[in-house]
Structure 1
Amino acid sequence: MPGSANHKFVLGALVACAAALLCLGAAAAGSAPAESPASAVSLFPVVSDARLAGDAKQTRFIVDLDSKLQHRVFTLADPYRVVVDIPQVIFRLPAGAGTSGRGLVKAFRYGLVMPGGSRIVLELNGPAKIESTYVLDAANGQPPRLVIELAAVDRTAFVQSLDAESRPELRPAVGSVDAVASVTAAARPAVVTPLDSRPVVVLDPGHGGIDNGTQAASGEAEKTLVLDFALALRDRIEKAGKYRVVMTRTDDTFIPLGERVRIARAQSAALFVSIHADALPRGEGDAQGATIYTLSDRASDAEAERLAESENKADAIGGVNLTEEPTDVADILIDLAQRETKGFSNRFARILMTEMKSAARMHKHPLKSAGFKVLKAPDVPSVLLELGYVSNKGDLKQLVSENWRTRTVGSVAQAVDAFFAKRVVSVGAPD
C-alpha cells in the first residue's frame, strides 16, 4: 500500500510539472493561459479527512490537512456546540462525513462561512470543554493534522468556559425601561449619522456561505439565485437616486439572522426586504409562484409555518449563538413598537403583490404571515419575498432567466416607490 501511494504521488507530481511547463511555454509565446477552476482551487489548503475517536468521557476530533494553518476554537450553548474557525479551505471529505458521531460528538458539518474563512461545527451530545487544540507536523508519511481534544463536564463548568457574551446565565436581569434601553444600545453597532437624508432600503439576500438554502434538482442554489436578484434590484433602485440601498451581503458570505436585523436597525432603515426562494419537500406535491410574507406570531397556514421553521434554522447551520432571547420587559416594549411597524409592513406587502402581478407568476395565496426571525426588527417595516419554488420547473426556469429578473426587479422597484409615496402622504396628512 505505501508503495502504491508513493507511486501515485510521483505520477501526480510529474503531471503537475508537465502542466507547469506547458503554462510557461504559453506565456513565453505571448499568450497567458486563462485561469482554470482547478488552478483557483489550488490557492487554498485542502482538508482531506475528518474523524472522531474516543468515548463519552473524552473525544478527539482529527482533521487531515495538506499544510499547517491557524485556527480558533470556541464553544456555544443551547444547543451545545464546538465551533472551529479556519482560513478558507477546500473540503474534500469522504461522502457522508459528519453525518454520524462518536463519544461526545453527535455529528459535524462544515463549509465556507465568508470569503477567506471556513468553519467546522461539532454538534455535541452534552456539555464538554476543550481540553487542548493543536496542529501536528507531517510525519512518517502522515499529513499535517488539526487535533481538538474534548472532555465531558457538567453544565456549570461548561457555561463558565464560554465567552462572557455567550453565557446564557449572564444575560442581564432587566427590571426597568432604562435598563432595556441601555442593554439595547450596548448591543447595537456604533452608527455615524450619514449626511444622506434619503430613506434607507435594506435588501437581504437570504442564506450564503455555509448555508446554501434550498437547492434545485439541477443544482441551482437558492443563495446564488437570490443574491443575483438582490444585486439587480439594488442597481435598479439606486439608479433612480431616491433612496440609499444597503445590502446585508454582496457575496457568498454567511450572515446570522440576528445580524441581518441589526444591520437594518443600525442603518435606521425605512424598509427591509428579505429575498428568498422556496422548495417543497419531495413527495409533498407541487407549488408555484411568488409569495410575500409578513411577521406574525401565528402562521397563516401550515406551509407558512414550515417555511418559517426552515428559515429560522439558518443560524444553527452557521453555529452562532442562539441564546439571546428578549426578557419579558423587552417583549412588551418590542410589542408596542411593532404595532405601528406591522401596519407599514402589511401595506408594503399589499403594494408589492399588486405591482408584481404584472411581471411575475404569483402563488395562489400570495400574502402570508409567519414567525420569521429576520422580520423581527420592531421599528423597521419588513417583508420576506419568496420569488418562487426551485422545486417547480416553471418557476426555476424563470428564476434563472435574465428577462424575468429584469421585469420582476422593475415591479419591486415600483412597489418601493409607491410605498414611500403613500407613507409620505399619510405622515403629512392631518389626524
Structure 2
Amino acid sequence: MSGRTNHFVLLGAIFACAAALLCGSAIGATAADPDSTGSVSAGNFPLASDVRLAGDDKQTRFIVDLDQKFPVRAFTLADPYRVVLDLPQINFRLPAGAGATGRGLVKAFRYGLVMPGGSRIVLDLTGPAKIAKSYVLDAANGQPPRLVVELESVDSETFTQSLAAESRPKLRPAVGVVEASVVLPVPPTDAAEADPRPVVVIDPGHGGIDNGTQAAGNGIVEKNLVLDFALALRERIRAAGKYRVVMTRTDDTFIPLAERVNIARANAASLFVSIHADSLPRSEGDAQGATIYTLSDRASDAEAERLAEAENKADAIGGVNLTEEPTDVADILIDLAQRETRTFSNRFARQLMGEMKTATRLHKHPLKSAGFKVLKAPDVPSVLLELGYVSNKGDLKHLISDSWRAKTVASVA
C-alpha cells in the first residue's frame, strides 16, 4: 500500500510539472454529461416508429415518423462527412435493419441514446452535402408527426465553409474534466471520503447509439451482453463487501471513451475493468475464448491492433469525437507516470487469467496488449476483458447463458 501511496504522490508532482510546462496552451474538452452510473429515470418518451429515405445523389430527404413534435438540432461534420441530429430522449422502435443501407446522399445511418435526456441520429454521407432544411411536421391528413431533413449535394469547399462554430453541438463538460491539455489528479469525492474501501470501476463497453459487435442473423448485440455481465459482476462484488463499485453505465446510454476514463479518475479508482465481447469477420477465420488486454503503445499482435483500432473509433460512432490528445511534452510525462500503473495492470491481468481459466474457455493467447484509449488513465490500473467472440457459435451460446454468466462472474469477482 505504501508503494501505491508513493505512486500517487509522484503522479501529483509529475502532473503539476506538466501543467506548468503547458501553461497558456489550455484547451477546453467537452463531452456528454451522464452521471457516474449512467442512470436514466423512467418516463414516457417520444416514439420514433418508422424511417425512410427518398431522392437521389443530388437531393435526398430523410424522414422519421414520430408520435409527437419536439425540437431538433441538426449540423454537419467532416472527416468523414456526416449529418448529426440531436434530439430529446426518444424511444426508437424502427424496423429491424433500419440504417444498415442508404439511398442518394446517405450511405447509412445509426441512432440511439447518447446521454440521459438526449438521443442522436447520425447520417453517414456519400460525400459533401448541406442541410437545406430540417423541421418537424405536425400530424395531418392521417399522417403522424414527421421529422424531415432535406440534403443537397455541394462541393467540398462549400461544405467546409458551412462548418461554422455556431453549428457545433454545445455539450456540457464531462465529469472530472479540466480545461487543460493534461488532466490533473482529481481529489476524492465526498462519497470516497465517507467510504474508505477501494473503488472498482466496471465499464460495460459501448451503449446507446453504439451497439458494438453483433451476432449474425439473430440481433444479439455486444452492448446488451456486456451490460448484463457487468451488472451481475457489480452485485457479486458488492455482496462481498470489500470494495465500493462504480459503473460507467447501468443502462443503454452512450458514454464517450474519455468520459469513461474520467469517471475512474474522479472516483480515485483502484481498478478499472472494461467489459467487451469481440467478433471476427468471416474472412479472418474463427476464434474463441476470453482475452484480457492491457495498455501498450505497440500491439502484441495484429488481432490486438485491429481490436484496439475498432474500439478507439467508438466516439466517432456517436457522431462527434470528444477526446483530446495530449501534447508531446504531456505525453512524455504521462508515459513516465503510467509505468508503475502498467505494472499493477499486468499483475491483475495475470491473476484474472488464473481465476477465469477454471470457469470458462480462454483464447489460445489470453493475455494481449494494445493502445486502447479507455485504458489510458495514468494513475488507475486498467484492463479490458473480452468475454468471448459473438462470431463463434460456442462462445455466443455461453454469452447468453445465465449459468455461464454466474460461474464466470464469480471467477472475475
1:363 & 1:75 partners in 2: Cα distance? 42
Aligned CA distance change for structure 1 residues 340 and 97 (closer, same or farther; 3 Å): closer
Which residue identity lines up with residue 269 of structure 2 in the other structure?
A: A
SS at match of 2:368: strand
Please give the residue correspondences for 1:166-245 in structure 2 after superposition, counting only pairs within 5 Å. Answer: 182-184=180-182, 192=190, 194-195=192-193, 196-217=195-216, 218-245=218-245
Q: Percentage identity across aligned positions?
A: 71
Query: 1:272-421 to 2 correspondence within 5 Å?
Result: 272-322=272-322, 324-413=324-413
1:351 CA drift (Å) = 1.1
Deviations 1:68-126 (A, max 9, x none): 233233444543432213331334358664623434x4432223446764321122456
Stretch of structure 1 that moved more, 131-140 or 312-321: 131-140
Residues 126, 161 of structure 1: alpha-carbon distance in 2 compared, 3 angstrom cutoff: farther
Q: Distance in 1 between matches of 2:283 and 2:138?
A: 49
- 1:394 shift after superposition: 2.5
Question: 1:51 is matched with which residue?
Answer: 53
Report the Cα distance in structure 2 between the residues aligned to 1:84 and 1:350, rounded to whole angstroms: 44
Q: Which consecutive unaligned segments of at least 5 residues does structure 2 have?
A: 1-41, 172-177
TM-score normalised according to structure 2 size = 0.76
Q: 1:187 Cα shift? A: 12
Match of 1:246 in 2: 246
Unaligned runs of at least 5 residues, structure 1: 1-39, 167-179, 414-431
The residue aligned with 1:144 is: 145
Q: Does 94-103 or 394-403 show the bigger shift?
A: 94-103
Equivalent in 81, 98, 101 of residue 99 of structure 1: 101
TM-superposed deviation, 1:341: 1.4
Distance 1:187 1:126, change over 3 A: farther
Distance 1:131 1:278, change over 3 A: same
Of stretches 65-74 and 385-394 in structure 1, the one that deviates more from structure 2 is 65-74
Deviations along 1:177-209, whole A, 9 cap, x unmatched? xxx984445998995563222211100111122
- Aligned mates of 2:143, 2:304 — CA distance in 1: 50
Q: How far off its partner does 1:336 sit?
A: 1.9
Q: Could you tell me the TM-score, scaled by structure 1's length? A: 0.73
Contact conserved, 1:50 with 1:93, CA < 8 A, in 2?
A: no
CA radius of gyration, larger in: 1
Give the direction of change, closer, same or farther, for the CA distance of 1:290–1:330 in structure 2 (3 Å limit).
same
Aligned length: 359
The CA RMSD measured in Å over matched residues stands at 3.3
User: Quick one: which amino acid aligns to residue 334 of structure 2?
Assistant: I
The range that moved more, 149-158 or 342-351, is: 149-158
| 1:160 paired residue number | 165
Distance in 1 separating the partners of 2:258 and 2:112: 20
Q: In 2 relative to 1, CA 55–93 (structure 1 residues): closer, same or farther, beyond 3 Å?
A: same
Structure richer in helix, relative to its length: 1
Q: Partner of 1:304: helix, strand, or coil?
A: helix
Matched-pair contact (CA < 8 Å) for 2:181–2:326: no
Letter in 2 for 1:208: G
Q: Quick one: higher RCO (CA 8 Å, sep 6+), 1 or 2?
A: 2
Q: Deviations over 1:134-187 (max 9, x none)?
A: 222233454422233456534254143444879xxxxxxxxxxxxx98444599
Q: Deviations over 1:314-370 (max 9, x none)?
A: 222221325632222222222122122111111111111112122221111110011
One-letter amino acid of the counterpart of residue 158, structure 1: L
Residue 72 (structure 2) pairs with residue 71 (structure 1): yes
Residue aligning to 1:108: 109
How far does residue 239 in structure 1 lie from its aligned partner after superposition? 1.7
**Distance of aligned partners of 1:101 and 1:234 in 2 relative to their CA distance in 1, 3 Å threshold:** same
Contact 2:187 2:268 in 1 (8 A): no
Q: 1:94 to 1:219 in 2, by over 3 A?
A: closer
Give yes or no for contact 2:258–2:322 (8 Å, CA) kept in 1.
no
